[in-house]
Amino acid sequence: MARHTESGLPIKPVYGPDDLDGWDAATQLGAPGAYPYTRGVYPSMYTGRPWTMRQYAGFGTAAESNERYQQLIAAGTMGLSVAFDLPTQMGYDSDHPLAHGEVGKVGVAIDSIDDMRILFGGIPLDTVSTSMTINAPAAVLLLLYQLVAEEQGVPASALTGTIQNDVLKEYIARGTYIYPPAASIRLITDIFGYCKAEIPKWNTISISGYHMAEAGATPAQEIAFTLADGIEYVRAAVASGMDVDEFAPRLAFFFVSRTTILEEVAKFRAARRIWSRVMRDEFGAKDPKSLMLRFHTQTAGVQLTAQQPEVNLVRVAVQGLAAVLGGTQSLHTNSFDEAIALPTQKAARLALRTQQVLAYETDVTATVDPFAGSYVVESLTDEVEAAAVALMDQIETMGGAVAAIERGFQKGEIESSAYLVSQQIDSGERVVVGVNKFTVDEEEHYEPLRVDPTIGDAQCARLATLRSERDQVAVDAALAAVKAAARGADNVLYPMRDALRLRATVGEVSDALREVWGLYTPADVF
């Protein structure tokens, strides 16, 4: 039976020189660290130092999450990656009615600078790189991080890390949006400008295909929709008056890595090539760093199974290998128990050890781009690129990513792909080990990590204390300044920072913007 890639491209049993007929290595590949960056964004890649090893963590209270971060740092992680709970992601305080039952469940609850101070207590922010998976309220959490760093005596100019800050993919695949698209993009461009002036080493956005892939996007769809979103952000920043080379070097991307190694390697290489061409030819970028598609990778959570969870250790190792062979700049490896609950300490440590084995016990870091010149990988790279560009062209004919989102194009394409995969699993055409083949009659008992259900009450009590202690008149004046900036054209982050320093909460600052910009309600496209 003929086999196909995740993107629906046929895979031949044998590849040879004829599959690269007319293929020009100089044009298609270039040298590592040189245009079109197919072979990697840096000349030496991992031969000089390994990728940044991050572990995505955060649950319960700030104190509990801080304890996990300290454990990860002790185990050798190079960078932190913060998971926030749903109320924080939606810009609500823990005492908001909509937060009931969700406080601290899928990430850490952060309501104010008090919580942020505890979250990073004892962690040297001048030496640790921090990634924060936060989107609609990204500016709020970044400013809290800056304020806590200042309390540690660390200047903003020394901070390194990333905020995800990619709201367009929220409208497509994830749903933690707050404001309408135009206001969201305004806020993002304000972040670009603020960081250029205040936090110059910070990666201001991580344009994400991961969540689209987890929702069902194929590899070709993942990079097409992600790069189309990136183009939309660049256009908005340029339209606001910024020179492309002022902000483009700080753009970053975020992709998934599946178990299908060959296509994943091809996907990463194709994405670099497309982005460098777009930045050079469409936007006229001159700085080589503006042409580089630097990206973080997370192994595919959607491919993990609750059945026989230890098998996930093998899946994650394969997925991590694909990311490394594809040239990722940083990597998070999922814990084997994530299909059941939040990761236990042991599972998180094993996930980090997986990366360390890849970095220090294999030879894949001994040479740059090990698959360069491979008949199958080069052929698949061209095919994935062509499929992605075709989708990007469709989006352009609709008027760009926002216009396509409003028509439901990306969402519809992803849902169709997800439905096809579901059908293949149900029919047995697609094998999932331990689920529809190689099953066991009785699963071993596994004790998951459980979040204390009283966390919400404790956070509400902390908020009540905070509001009783602070200067409410000063807070109200600061929030009024936030609203005034939102109504006008001034960079809204400066008054937001002032309000947060006075102990305004995440929810209060988000509410100030909600009052001016409103809430996004998706159109019924069916």
pLDDT digits (tens, 9 = 90+) for 130-143: 999 999 999 999 99
Q: Is residue 316's pLDDT more than 70? A: yes
pLDDT score at 502: 98
Q: What's phi and psi for 375, nearest 5 deg? A: -55, -45
Q: Averaged over 251-260, what is the pLDDT?
A: 97
Residue 376 above 90 pLDDT? yes
pLDDT at residue 30 greater than cutoff 80: yes
Q: What is the DSSP letter of 21?
A: T
Q: Kindly report, residue by residue over 435-481, the tens digit of the pLDDT.
A: 999 999 988 787 777 778 889 999 999 999 999 999 999 999 999 99
Which pLDDT band holds residue 124 (cuts at 50, 70, 90)? Answer: very high
Task: Give yes or no for residue 282 having a pLDDT over 60.
Answer: yes
| Residue 330 to residues 130, 256, 257, 282, Cα–Cα distance (Å) | 12, 12, 12, 28
Average pLDDT over residues 193-197: 96
Distance from C-alpha of 272 to C-alpha of 419, rounded to nearest angstrom: 29
pLDDT category of residue 505 using cuts at 50, 70 and 90? very high
Long-range contacts of 97-101 (CB under 8 A, 24+ apart): 99/456, 100/456, 101/456
Amino acid present at 445 = H
Rounded to an integer, what distance in angstroms lies between the CA atom of residue 53 and that of residue 72? 10
Among 68-82, 288-302, 313-327, 493-507, which is the least confidently predicted range? 68-82
pLDDT for res 447: 79
- pLDDT above 60 for 526: no
pLDDT at residue 208 greater than cutoff 90 = yes
**Burial class of residue 33, CB neighbours in 10 A (0-12, 13-18, 19+):** middle
Q: What are phi and psi of 123, to 5 degrees?
A: -110, 120
Report whether 414 contacts 420 (CB < 8 A): no
Does 1 score more than 80 pLDDT?
no
Residue 259's nearest CA partner among 494, 445, 84, 6 is: 6
Q: Whole-model pTM? A: 0.93
- Give the pairing type, strands 202-203 and 129-133: unpaired
- Among 77-86, 111-120, 189-198, 509-518, the range scoring the smallest mean pLDDT is 77-86
Enumerate the H helices of 283-427 as residue ranges.
288-291, 311-325, 345-360, 375-397, 401-406, 409-427
Question: Residue 263's pLDDT is what?
Answer: 98
Give me the mean pLDDT over the 80-93 stretch: 96
Q: Is it the case that residue 242 has pLDDT exceeding 90?
A: yes
Average pLDDT over residues 105-131: 95
Q: How confident is the model at residue 525 (pLDDT cuts 50, 70, 90)?
A: very low
Say what the pLDDT of residue 344 is. Answer: 87
Q: Which CATH number fits domain 46-427: 3.40.250.10, 3.20.20.240, 3.20.20.140, 3.40.1740.10?
A: 3.20.20.240
Return mean pLDDT, the chain.
95
Render the burial of 373-384: b for 16+ CB within 10 Å, e for the rest.
ebbbbbbbbbbb
List, for residues 150-185, the tens digit of each pLDDT value: 999 999 999 999 999 999 999 999 999 999 999 999
Q: Which residues contact 142 (CB under 8 A, 6 or more apart)?
A: 132, 163, 191, 195, 199, 202
What six digits make up the tokens of 459? 């956070």
Q: How far is it, in rounded angstroms, from Cα 292 to Cα 290?
A: 6
pLDDT range class, residue 524, cuts 50, 70, 90: low
Query: Measured between alpha carbons, how far is 495 from 484 in angstroms, rounded to an integer?
Result: 9
